Amino acid sequence: MIDFRTEPSRYRHWKLSVEGAVATLALDVAEDGGLFPGYELKLNSYDLGVDIELNDAVQRLRFEHPAVRVVVLTSGKERVFCAGANIRMLGGASHAHKVNFCKFTNETRNSIEDASNASGQIWMAAVNGPCAGGGYEMALACEHILLADDGSSAVSLPEVPLLAVLPGTGGLTRLVDKRHVRRDRADFFCTTEEGVRGKRAVDWRLVDEIAPRSRFAEATAARAKALAAKSNRPADARGVSLTPVARRIEGDRIHYGTLTVEIDRGRAAATFTIRGPGAPPPADAAAVQALGAAFWPLAFARDLDDAILHLRFNEGAVGTWVLRTEGDLAAVAAYDALLERESRHWLVHEITLNLKRVLKRLDLSSRTIFSLVEPGSCFAGTLAELLLASDRVYMLDGGFEGDNRPPPRVRLTAMNFGPYRTVTGLTRLASRHLGEAGGAEDAWVRVGEDLDAPAAEALGLATFTPDDIDWEDEVRLAIEERAAFSPDALTGMEASLRFPGPETMESKIFARLTAWQNWIFQRPNAIGEAGALKLYGSGKRPEFDRGRV
Amino acid sequence: MIDFRTEPSRYRHWKLSVEGAVATLALDVAEDGGLFPGYELKLNSYDLGVDIELNDAVQRLRFEHPAVRVVVLTSGKERVFCAGANIRMLGGASHAHKVNFCKFTNETRNSIEDASNASGQIWMAAVNGPCAGGGYEMALACEHILLADDGSSAVSLPEVPLLAVLPGTGGLTRLVDKRHVRRDRADFFCTTEEGVRGKRAVDWRLVDEIAPRSRFAEATAARAKALAAKSNRPADARGVSLTPVARRIEGDRIHYGTLTVEIDRGRAAATFTIRGPGAPPPADAAAVQALGAAFWPLAFARDLDDAILHLRFNEGAVGTWVLRTEGDLAAVAAYDALLERESRHWLVHEITLNLKRVLKRLDLSSRTIFSLVEPGSCFAGTLAELLLASDRVYMLDGGFEGDNRPPPRVRLTAMNFGPYRTVTGLTRLASRHLGEAGGAEDAWVRVGEDLDAPAAEALGLATFTPDDIDWEDEVRLAIEERAAFSPDALTGMEASLRFPGPETMESKIFARLTAWQNWIFQRPNAIGEAGALKLYGSGKRPEFDRGRV
């Protein structure tokens, strides 16, 4: 079982140090520290275990070190920056692991950019040695790349010539869409195993700056200082400690503080029951700070994030996620009001950004997402995003016979109109209303109202609204039917329907780039017995089927 | 060998009739008219042969019937509109054929939308019977869908539940991005084999209008009349006849009027030598009209289009296309000046749109595209688009020893700044200059200049500019090296680097949707021995690996 929970004292591959406004995160991979047996993590190459620590570091820097304005990503080894994802690990991994590994590493790269762009914690790469493949893709996620100017330090994306796969962690997209490398130069660069160094790397925009070895530390410090001056981070904020996410697995039940997941293997479905806040929100940001990781929105974000990752990696055969909530609409809305009111406070801002990232992770999960809105549920505001992230929503029209709770209602808050934009740059509500003349703005007038099933259906918050008589059969059939379809076809369909409207660099990475990579990860030229990924390091040359498709 | 050249008198599957401003194109598939043996085209299902005729009809309607303002796409059979792509054909086809078939049908659907949107020849679908899968995707390419309101006429996309593949001809993208069907409803629709009919089909925007059988002909005529009123087509223009594209294949040489393709199988490369116009352009649009299909830009567009399709389908192992030109820069520029000057004339407008479509087909071809700029070449304006479509351009700096022709030059014209936008909506020049402060506008001041190698390099019209001494080795090595890489990795890389910047509905169809479909077309759940596509019609149930990846 893969566990995504870690903390700096347990890191095997990264060294994190903080001095004033500058943090340094040095990659120093333990060769024998692979997550699975069968490969050694040579040359600062990484596997999922290395990336789990990186993801944790990105997160902790934001919450635990609010005074940090610049993060310097560098290598702790003398002669190499990073050789990218470990090839033997990739060669031996299942298709599903490869795909999920790439998705998670992509999400982590995006969270680095989110820290730089939304959170004022600006990442720079101090590339102090050869930097290949996924190593360069890590640097590409930073806002500034400083490359050592010596005989050996080059940046490269050797995947195509060497391994017959793509740079799968956003590299191709970031080259042309973020760094605006001219596409003909990018073509040459991506087919040149040895990469590009020195002045040409700067001229082609592959890096921002070069410095000789003798001046490298000095140049790094100077650049960090200059970037720090651009940050709007608070100077004297106190961090909050991200205490361990408490999880208890009992058979097919997974318990967290704010939610429980129950797996029904027969129907290949997992039901998430999310519990709304049990107490009213604290009065202000200072009180939020005092609560720290126990503050319900943050606790919920971290619990849900862990549950998503756990199910993605450890429960691949569970194809449908059913989302339920229990609690009080008004209580959730009260927390949303606090998030909105205190949105300029660094911690509240971070919590909102964290919720945003977790909701994006949900959108990007290759699982069917159904939501059920029943009596006692609390889909308001932030939790209503779950409805809008769903492939379908079933909402009971009226009550259940013999159940004296009132019929369910849903509620929109201001949080549905901006803070939680998806990878396409649209709000989830706008994604549902692309066809409306007024778009999502029409929904704005209903903010704060308790919406019954017909009203929710009209606003795109519910797909179907069966009554007591039809509810059980309709929901059961929908879930069972889903389990009968091809998981692959559902993945492709959901990836096509979930992201209507515009694309952004971020969404292009998950669509254009990732979908092609997944295809290549299935092709004999990469993974067949004579494929390049399989034969890497064996001394044998791959044999390719030369047909273009 | 698959031949894309046809004409209405040879159609086996379509009936084209024109009455005044309204053309009717009726699908009446010959069951025994499949392009390959092994399947029958039942229920108006189609294979590539049917689509080759459709592509020809779209093209001829625009050139030969300029007075047509509305095209009614309907079925010539009593009880079915169209059952989509033939499943047995798909089940038996190679991966490469499936992928190329989908790409070509997508391009044809896009050309239908281009006719409606850019050319004032508005397509409507008169859906007079059950309309499933690719049949509905054909209707989705039309601007208006009229559905018969009876017990049996429904629209459906049954691919996911029935075949474990995606609707691969733009259906998923057009549902949410063109018709703005709410994505939760689209989810239900795409997993419901029997589809949706009647009022719900209208309420969910799946169709625009329903009419009972008894009033169907009347409703079709009324809608055609209303749409015709919106068209800006000329009332009394005379069409030009699209005479057959003359092609002669001699061994590894393919001769057309305006170009020759020579295949070098050892290097897996095809060299296109395009001959610029041999005579000055005619004086005006009337003279263009008199020349008709012999007018050089139109002849070139049609020759290049046929060459691209021929190589895509019949020469899959030829992975690199090398583009060369021979002729006079000023002569090409003079034709461009005419195209610009007479751009409001319907025929000149159509020719420009045709060139635009052919250039897009080039961009979308899964082949490496290199261009060589040598003495005697004529890459100006429209032909300079070939450079901008290339993955790399090699331009000789200076002359060849012993060759007294002047060093090569390239030239931009106004045609490089708007008419030939790619699927992303950008000009090719803008795609190269995403990173420049002034973008492509900086190049505008150089329009009309003869640009030498360094100037071309600076403007993104050349990647490398070797001199006489390095030329032969550098070009040869680049081509040979390309042949050594995995064709699949190159396809994924090129698809990622060629389309920087924004995405449009059209580009999303080829990226997000197609890339996922290609992946699914490789997955055992679809194409394995127990896969749904293989077992379709056998009475056996597919067995799925339930793991999500």
* pLDDT tens-digit readout, A298-313: 999 999 999 999 999 9
Average pLDDT, chain A: 96
d(CA B407, CA B450): 11
Q: What ipTM does the predicted assembly reach? A: 0.95
Q: Which of residues 446-505 of A touch B (CB under 8 A)?
A: 460, 463-464, 481-483, 485-503
Looking at residue A146, its pLDDT comes to 98
Neighbours of B436 (CB within 10 A): 16
Please check whether residue A422 touches B, CB under 8 A. Answer: no
The number of residues making up chain A comes to 549
- Give the gap in angstroms from C-alpha A63 to the nearest C-alpha of chain B: 32
DSSP string, A217-267: HHHHHHHHHHHHTT----SSPPP---PPPPEEEETTEEEESSEEEEEEGGG
Does the pLDDT value for residue B532 go beyond 90?
Answer: yes
| Residues 6+ away with beta carbon under 8 Å from A426 | A501, A502
Q: Angle CA(A395)–CA(A396)–CA(A397) in degrees, nearest 5?
A: 115
Does the pLDDT value for residue A506 go beyond 70?
Answer: yes
Q: Angle CA(B352)–CA(B358)–CA(B360) in degrees, nearest 5?
A: 105
* pLDDT tens-digit readout, A315-368: 999 999 999 999 999 999 999 999 999 999 999 999 999 999 999 999 999 999
Confidence of residue B365 (pLDDT cuts 50, 70, 90): very high
d(CA A540, CA B478): 23
Put simply, the answer to whether B487 touches A545 (Cβ < 8 Å) is yes
- Give the gap in angstroms from C-alpha A418 to the nearest C-alpha of chain B: 19
Chain B residues in contact with A204 by the CB 8 A cut-off are: none
Q: Angle CA(A109)–CA(A112)–CA(A117) in degrees, nearest 5?
A: 125
Chain A residues in contact with B160 by the CB 8 A cut-off are: 485-486, 489-490, 493
Looking at A99-113, A166-180, B108-122, B435-449, which range is the least confident one? B435-449
Looking at residue A439, its pLDDT comes to 66
Does the pLDDT value for residue B439 go beyond 70?
Answer: no
Put simply, the answer to whether A186 touches B503 (Cβ < 8 Å) is no
d(CA B70, CA B21): 6
Mean pLDDT of B140-154: 97
| Maximal CA-CA distance, chain A | 79
Under 8 Å between Cβ of B75 and B26: yes
Looking at residue A436, its pLDDT comes to 76
Q: With a threshold of 0.90, does the pTM exceed it?
A: yes
Does the pLDDT value for residue A61 go beyond 80?
Answer: yes
> Which residue in this structure is represented by tokens 């261009």?
B371
Q: Angle CA(B332)–CA(B334)–CA(B336) in degrees, nearest 5?
A: 75
Mean pLDDT of B531-548: 92
* Token pair in block for residue B162: 């029935």
Confidence of residue A94 (pLDDT cuts 50, 70, 90): very high
Under 8 Å between Cβ of B111 and B73: no
Looking at residue B438, its pLDDT comes to 67
Mean pLDDT of B119-127: 98
Please check whether residue A181 touches B, CB under 8 A. Answer: yes
Looking at residue A438, its pLDDT comes to 67
Does the pLDDT value for residue A381 go beyond 90?
Answer: yes
Nearest to B160 among A431, A490, A501 (CB): A490
What percent of chain B has pLDDT above 70? 99
Interface test with B, best of A187, A264, A318, A491 (most B CBs within 10 A): A187
* pLDDT tens-digit readout, B443-471: 888 999 999 999 999 999 999 999 999 99
> Which residue in this structure is represented by tokens 């029935």?
B162
Looking at residue B255, its pLDDT comes to 98
Put simply, the answer to whether A183 touches B491 (Cβ < 8 Å) is no
Confidence of residue A135 (pLDDT cuts 50, 70, 90): very high
A4 three-class SS: coil
Q: Which amino acid is at B218?
A: E
d(CA A382, CA A427): 12
Looking at residue A160, its pLDDT comes to 96
Of A529, A431, A536, A537, the residue nearest A545 (C-alpha):
A529
A63 three-class SS: helix
Does the pLDDT value for residue B436 go beyond 90?
Answer: no
* pLDDT tens-digit readout, A111-128: 999 999 999 999 999 999
Looking at residue B126, its pLDDT comes to 98
Q: Which of residues 5-24 of B touch A (CB under 8 A)?
A: none
B294 or B537, higher pLDDT: B294
d(CA B509, CA A221): 46
* pLDDT tens-digit readout, A181-225: 999 999 999 999 999 999 999 999 999 999 999 999 999 999 999
**Rounded to whole angstroms, what are the CA distances from A153 to A78, A84, B333?**
11, 14, 46
List helix spans (H) across A165-236.
171-173, 183-190, 198-203, 216-228
d(CA A387, CA A462): 7
B434 or B313, higher pLDDT: B313
Mean pLDDT of B398-406: 96
* Token pair in block for residue A9: 């004292």
Looking at A437-451, A485-499, B18-32, B475-489, which range is the least confident one? A437-451
Looking at residue B518, its pLDDT comes to 93
B236 or B426, higher pLDDT: B426
Mean pLDDT of A63-81: 97
Does the pLDDT value for residue A393 go beyond 70?
Answer: yes
* pLDDT tens-digit readout, B274-315: 999 999 999 999 999 999 999 999 999 999 999 999 999 999
Put simply, the answer to whether A496 touches B482 (Cβ < 8 Å) is no
A156 three-class SS: strand
